[in-house]
Amino acid sequence: MKIHEYQAKEIFAASGIPVPPGRVATEVQDAVAIAEEIDRPVMVKAQVHVGGRGKAGGVKYAENIESAKIWAQRILGMDIKGLTVKKILVTEAVDITSETYLGIILDRVTKMPVIMISAAGGIDIEEVAAKTPEKIHKLAVDPRVGLRPYQARALAYNVFRDIKLVRQVTDIIVKLYDIFWKIDASLVEINPLITTPINQVIAIDAKINIDDNGLFRQKEIEAMRDLDAENSSEVDAREAGLSFIKLDGNIGCIVNGAGLAMATMDLVKHYGGDPANFLDIGGSSNPDKVLTAMRIILGDPNVKAILINIFGGITRCDDVATGIVSAFKELHPEVPVVTRLTGTNEAAGRRILKEVKLPSAPTLDAVVQKAISMAGLEEE
C-alpha cells in the first residue's frame, strides 16, 4: 500500500525528521489560505502515487500568494500518468545547496532491510542504479541486531564531510530505519534530502510503501489509504478477495493459485505474448469470484483475449465453469475467451461450459498459444 507524500511527512515529523511546514488542500481557496499562513514562498505539490511528479509538471515554486493560487488552480485536476490530482501539498519552499538520496528497501536477496545513500540525489535513482551503481552506498541491516548509530554515521560519511551535517544525517538515518521497521514498510525514501545555506538537513520529499501483509497490525497506516488515488480495478479486486495486479499487456489471465498464475504469465511471455494482469482467484471455488475477475479484466481496454487456467484441487472446475457461464450472461464479453480446466470435477465443468461454447485446450502450452493467437499477437 502506498501513502501520499504529505502523510509520509506527518510520520517523519512525528519521529523528529525535519520537514518544511505545510498542509494538504483539495480546494484552491484552502491552498491560498495555507500559503498565506506560511507567509513565505511555497511549493505547490501534486499528491499522486507516481514518481517523477516534478518532471510531469506537478511540483511548482510559488514566489507569492498570487502565484500559489495560479499553480493550485493548474495542478488540481491535472492528469499525471493517468491519475487525476485531487490533493495538493502547499509547503514552505527551502533554499537548496545539495540534494542527497536516502532510502531503505526490503531486499529479498539478503533478506534484510538495505539502507542506500547517494550524493546523486533529486533525480531518478533507478537510472543512477543502472548506469553508475558505484554512486550508491549500501548497508544491509541485520534485523536481529537493528541499526547501530556507528553504522548510520559511517553511511553518512560516504556523502558528507562536515561533522555538523554528518550528525544531522546520522540522526535522520536512525529515525528513518526506526520508522521503516515499526510500520512494516517495504520502502521508505527521501529524495531529495537537502542541505540549506545555513547547514540544515531537511527532507523535502517523502515516500512510504507499506507491506500489505503487515496491514492487519497497522490500523493507523491502513486508515491513510486513499482509494481515490489507487487504480480502481485493484481496489475492486481487493474488496472481492482476489489478488490482482494490473500490467500493461493485452492477455487477461484468470488463474487459481499464485504459483500457477506466475507460471501462466511466464508461459505467455515465453510464447511472445504479454499478460494484462496477474490474477489469483484463490483456493476456494466461488463462482462470484470468477464473475468479478471477468468484470475487472473486461474493464481494461487493452485486453484482447482472456485466458482462464484452472487446476482443480480444492477449487472445483464445475464451480469455476458456473462462474464463467454467469459472467458470459451478465457481461457479454466481446473479446475471445479460452479456457483450460483440469482436475477436480473437470468433466462436469466441461459440460457446464458447453452452454457458452468456449474454445478450450487440454494443456497449459496449448491454451497459452491459443490465447496469444486469438489476441492477434502470434510470433512470426
Cβ closest to ligand GDP, residue 122 vs residue 343: 122
Whether the Cβ atoms of residue 68 and residue 33 lie closer than 8 Å to each other = no
Catalytic residue among 63, 101, 127, 230: 101
Query: Could you tell me the smallest distance in angstroms from the CB atom of residue 66 to ligand GDP?
Result: 18
Taking contact as CB under 6 A, which single stretch among the options 51-59, 131-139, 315-323, 359-367 is the one that binds ligand GDP? 51-59
Q: Reply yes or no on whether 346 is catalytic.
A: no
User: Is the Cα dihedral 89, 94, 99, 100 positive or negative?
Assistant: negative
Site mask, ligand GDP, residues 54-83, x = CB under 6 A?
A: x----x------------------------
Question: Would you say 99 or 184 has its CB closer to ligand GDP?
Answer: 99
Name, in order, each residue with C-beta under 8 angstroms of 354's C-beta and a sequence gap of 6 or more: none
Choice between 195 and 369, CB closer to Mn ion: 195
Binding residue for ligand GDP, selected from 33, 65, 70, 96, defined by CB under 6 A: 96
Spatial separation of the C-alpha atoms in residues 219 and 104, rounded to whole Å: 22
Beta carbon of residue 181, minimum distance to Mn ion (angstroms, whole number): 23
Distance CA 310, CA 264 (A): 10
Site for Mn ion in 3-32 (CB under 5 A): none
Over the window 186 to 205, marking each residue x when it contacts ligand GDP by CB under 6 A and - when it does not, the resulting string is -----xx-----------xx
- Answer for which of 52, 149, 241, 283 binds ligand GDP (CB under 6 A) is 52
Q: Are 364 and 309 in contact (CB under 8 A)?
A: yes
Greatest CA separation for the chain: 77
Q: Is residue 4 exposed (0-12), middle (13-18) or buried (19+ Cβ within 10 Å)?
A: buried
Give residues with Cβ within 8 angstroms of 213, minimum separation 6: 184
Quickly count: other Cβ atoms within 10 Å of residue 95's Cβ.
11
Q: Which helix (H) or strand (E) holds 232?
A: helix 232-239
Which of ligand GDP, Mn ion, none binds 53 (CB below 5-8 Å, type-dependent)? Answer: ligand GDP
Annotate each residue in 283-322 with x if it binds ligand GDP (CB under 6 A) or - if it does not, as one string. Answer: ----------------------------------------
Question: Please, which residue, 192 or 257, has the CB nearer to ligand GDP?
Answer: 192
From the list ligand GDP, Mn ion, none, partner contacted by residue 47 (C-beta under 5 to 8 A by kind): none
Q: Does 191 bind Mn ion (CB under 5 A)?
A: yes
Helix axes 65-75, 28-38, angle to 10 degrees: 150
Annotated catalytic residue 150: no
Across 191-211, b (16+ Cβ under 10 Å) vs e yields bbbbbeeeeebbbbbbbbbbe
**Could you say which of 92, 205, 280, 319 contacts Mn ion (CB under 5 A)?**
205
The grid coordinates of residue 95 equal: 533554499
Q: Which residues are catalytic?
A: 101, 189
Contacts to ligand GDP by CB under 6 A: 43, 52-54, 59, 93-94, 96, 99, 122, 191-192, 204-205
